[in-house]
């Protein structure tokens, strides 16, 4: 099972993956989707072709489907709020009350991504969902998925009353798939963040989002199917998720998952889908990021533009191949390059060192090493067990903070290293030089 965002044109996508983003292709019609393997996790930020946009009043949208001369019209009136009484945040609400009390806090997220299609530069429209988490007199902040806005320009958000605003990216956390947007419009109504740890399997949950990028502010409901599901993403990252049978489709990514009190307990992010007509049909397997897992991160992004306290060692790494271990080299992760001025360099780590443990945790893969370091905050002193020149020893490393400046420096180191490797010799044994997280570690 894999996770992938669909902030890409069809020809570049994994054929099994959908997303809750929408892409528009003005130059060429989309290829027919191929069938792939069963059980793929799909991000639900939508890519689709919205040609007409809103037409007239009363919530009318015209969408031209490629490959057909007909135009499908979706007609409907804007939803009206029901009368709410004594809603104190802990009163169990009806589904209608959950929708009415949160509708004005949910947004659609639109933007453009530029891609190269058969040698031609094409600007594609993308769409997802989000929700207001904070608002003051002059500005408001919106939470969405990172995969909804990754690589996207000209971001706008729109509300159920038809108003839209230009949005800027405050910051994001790719590893945890969250991003915060800012709009210059104050005095909006934020959602109430609930307690995702307090929900129970079998409880009612609801989602508001923009499936297909067209059916805006759609309301769906279901149950909490499971908690603490470990979902493995395509890059090997494992995320903790709430599983729900609430209907989730492309365009829902970044939208809120509400509990029975009308409070946000999750961020809709992915679904599991069958990929072949010959395989068993998969329905009702949606996933949301527990809000408790990211509350502190969101606050950090709003205040600093990034998640503070994340550790970074300043090295490029590669797992020791099993063929090398036959000659007495221990399982571990080899240091391939070290950033000048990093904590790794200051601690005395060297290129060629093999890290076999972080603290009391044994590591033999890049993912294990990444996970072990994530247990610590920047500034912590951590004992690394290393193998060097036939001997095992320990080194104390005071972890650096992973911020934008460090990311840029590590990306540059990675580019330089890979360029040197290509010039000097081909990669041996098909090894790939992993850089964690997302380009560095």
Assess whether 322 and 212 both reside in one domain: no
Rounded distance, CA 260 to CA 248, Å?
A: 18
- Nearest 5°: CA angle at 63, between 57 and 64? 140
**Residue 377: inside a domain, yes or no?**
yes
Share the mean pLDDT of the chain.
78
Radius of gyration for the chain, computed over Cα atoms and rounded to the nearest angstrom: 24
Look at residues 304, 338, 366 and tell me which one is the last residue of a structural domain.
304
Smallest Cα–Cα separation from 369: which of 336, 328, 324? 336
- Alpha-carbon distances of 329 from 52, 196, 365, 429, rounded to whole Å: 62, 45, 14, 17
383: CATH? 2.30.42.10
Please tell me which residue, 440 or 324, carries the higher pLDDT value. Answer: 324
Question: Kindly report the CA angle at 243 between 307 and 238, in degrees rounded to 5?
Answer: 45
Considering the domain architecture, whether residues 145 and 114 belong to the same structural domain is answered as: yes
CA distance 31 to 12: 11
3-state SS, one letter per residue, for 249-262 = CCCCCCCEEECCCC
The answer to whether residue 430 sits within a structural domain is no
CB atoms within 10 A of CB 219: 20
- Sequence-separated (6 or more) residues with CB below 8 Å from residue 437: 174, 175, 237, 370, 402
Q: Are residues 318 and 169 in the same domain?
A: no
Instruction: Concatenate the DSSP letters of all residues of 260-312 into one string.
Output: TTS-EEEEEEEEEE---TTS----S-EEEEEHHHHHHHHHHHHHHSS-TT-EE
Q: Hey, CA dihedral for 1, 321, 343, 373, is it positive or negative?
A: positive
Has 23 been annotated as catalytic?
no
- Does a structural domain hold residue 419? yes
- The full length of the chain comes to 441
pLDDT of 374 reads 87
* Known catalytic residue at 5: no
**What pLDDT score does 277 carry?**
55
Quickly count: other Cβ atoms within 10 Å of residue 216's Cβ: 25
Is 337 part of any domain? yes
The rounded distance, in Å, linking the Cα atoms of 349 and 338 is: 8
11 vs 389, residue with greater confidence: 389
Q: Which of 101, 225, 253, 275 is catalytic?
A: 253
Per-residue pLDDT tens digits for 390-439? 999 999 999 999 988 998 899 899 999 988 888 776 544 444 333 333 23
- Residue ranges making up the domain that contains 342: 311-424
Residue 73: what pLDDT? Answer: 29
Same domain, 58 and 182: yes
Q: DSSP assignment of 90-147, as one string?
A: SSPPPHHHHHHHHGGGEEEEEEEEEEEETTEEEEEEEEEEEEEEEE-SS-EEEEE-HH
Query: In this structure, are 248 and 382 located in the same domain?
Result: no
Q: Tell whether 194 and 294 lie within a shared domain.
A: yes
Let me know whether 270 and 351 are in one domain: no
Do 248 and 339 belong to one domain? no
Task: Domain count for the chain, please give it.
Answer: 2
Domain boundary among 253, 287, 304: 304
- Rounded distance between C-alpha atoms, residue 99 and residue 105, angstroms: 10
Please state the rounded mean pLDDT for residues 147-170: 95
Look at residue 172 and tell me whether its pLDDT is greater than 90.
Answer: yes
Spatial separation of the C-alpha atoms in residues 129 and 158, rounded to whole Å:
9
The percent of residues in the chain predicted with pLDDT above 90, rounded, is: 55
**Domain of 259: which CATH number?**
2.40.10.120
Name the more confident of 73 and 337: 337
Report how many helices (DSSP H) and strands (DSSP E) the chain contains, helices first. Answer: 7, 25
**In the predicted structure, residue 225 carries a pLDDT above the cut 70:** yes
- 191: in domain: yes
pLDDT at residue 64 tops 70:
no
pLDDT tens-digit profile of 372-403? 998 899 999 999 999 999 999 999 999 999 98
> Are 74 and 145 within one domain?
yes
Query: Are 145 and 115 in the same domain?
Result: yes
pLDDT given at position 67: 28
Is residue 417 within 8 Å of 336, Cβ to Cβ? yes
Q: Which of 278, 304, 330 is the last residue of a domain?
A: 304
Which entry of 101, 135, 147, 274 is annotated as an active-site residue?
147
pLDDT digits (tens, 9 = 90+) for 73-98: 233 344 444 444 444 457 899 999 99
Name the catalytic one among 5, 14, 177, 353: 177
pLDDT at residue 44, rounded to an integer: 54
Residue in the structure block whose two tokens are 């990675």: 414
Structural domain includes residue 22: yes
Residues 38 and 140 in one domain: yes
At 353, the pLDDT band (50, 70, 90 cuts) reads very high
Task: Let me know: does 319 contact 333? Beta carbons within 8 Å.
Answer: yes
Q: Considering the chain, what percentage of its residues have pLDDT values greater than 70?
A: 73
- Say whether both 114 and 214 belong to one domain: yes
More confident call, 128 vs 18: 128
- Under DSSP, is residue 264 helix (H, G, I), strand (E, B) or coil? strand
For residue 441, tell me if it sits in a domain.
no
Residue 440 domain flag: no
């Amino acid at each position: 099972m894999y996770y992938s965002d669909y902030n890409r044109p069809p020809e570049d996508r994994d054929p099994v993956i959908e997303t809750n983003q929408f892409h528009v292709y003005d130059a060429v019609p989309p290829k027919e989707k191929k069938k792939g393997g069963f059980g793929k996790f799909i991000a639900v930020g939508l890519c689709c072709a919205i040609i007409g946009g809103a037409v007239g009043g009363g919530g009318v949208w015209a969408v031209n489907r490629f490959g057909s001369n007909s135009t499908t019209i979706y007609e409907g009136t804007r939803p009206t709020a029901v009368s709410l009484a004594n809603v104190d945040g802990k009163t169990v609400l009806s589904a209608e009350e959950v929708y009415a009390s949160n509708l004005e806090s949910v947004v659609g997220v639109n933007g453009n991504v530029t891609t190269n299609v058969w040698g031609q530069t094409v600007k594609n429209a993308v769409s997802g969902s989000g929700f207001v988490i904070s608002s003051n007199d002059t500005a408001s902040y919106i939470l969405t998925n990172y995969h909804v806005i990754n690589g996207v320009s000209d971001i706008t958000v729109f509300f159920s009353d038809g108003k839209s605003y230009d949005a800027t990216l405050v910051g994001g956390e790719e590893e945890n798939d969250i991003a915060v947007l800012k709009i210059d419009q104050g005095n909006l109504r934020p959602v109430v963040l609930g307690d995702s740890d307090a929900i129970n399997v079998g409880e009612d949950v609801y989602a508001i989002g923009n499936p297909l990028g067209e059916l805006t502010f759609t309301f769906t409901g279901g149950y909490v199917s499971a908690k603490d599901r470990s979902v493995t993403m395509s890059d090997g990252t494992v995320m903790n998720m709430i599983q729900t049978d609430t209907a989730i489709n492309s365009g829902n990514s970044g939208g809120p998952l509400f509990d029975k009190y009308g409070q946000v307990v999750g961020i809709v992010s992915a679904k599991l889908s069958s990929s072949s007509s010959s395989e068993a049909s998969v329905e009702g397997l949606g996933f949301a990021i527990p809000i408790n897992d990211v509350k502190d991160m969101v606050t950090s992004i709003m205040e600093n533009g990034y998640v503070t306290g994340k550790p970074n060692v300043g090295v490029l790494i590669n797992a020791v191949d099993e063929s090398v271990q036959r000659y007495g080299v221990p399982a571990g992760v080899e240091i391939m390059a070290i950033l000048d001025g990093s904590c790794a360099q200051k601690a005395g780590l060297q290129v060629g060192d093999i890290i076999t443990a972080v603290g009391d945790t044994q590591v033999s893969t890049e993912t294990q090493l990444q996970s072990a370091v994530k247990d610590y905050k920047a500034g912590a002193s951590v004992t690394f067990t290393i193998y060097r020149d036939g001997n095992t020893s320990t080194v104390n490393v005071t972890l650096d903070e992973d911020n934008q400046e460090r990311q840029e420096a590590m990306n540059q180191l990675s580019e330089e290293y890979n360029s040197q490797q290509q010039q000097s010799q081909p990669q041996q044994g098909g090894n790939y030089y992993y850089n964690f997280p997302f380009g560095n570690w």
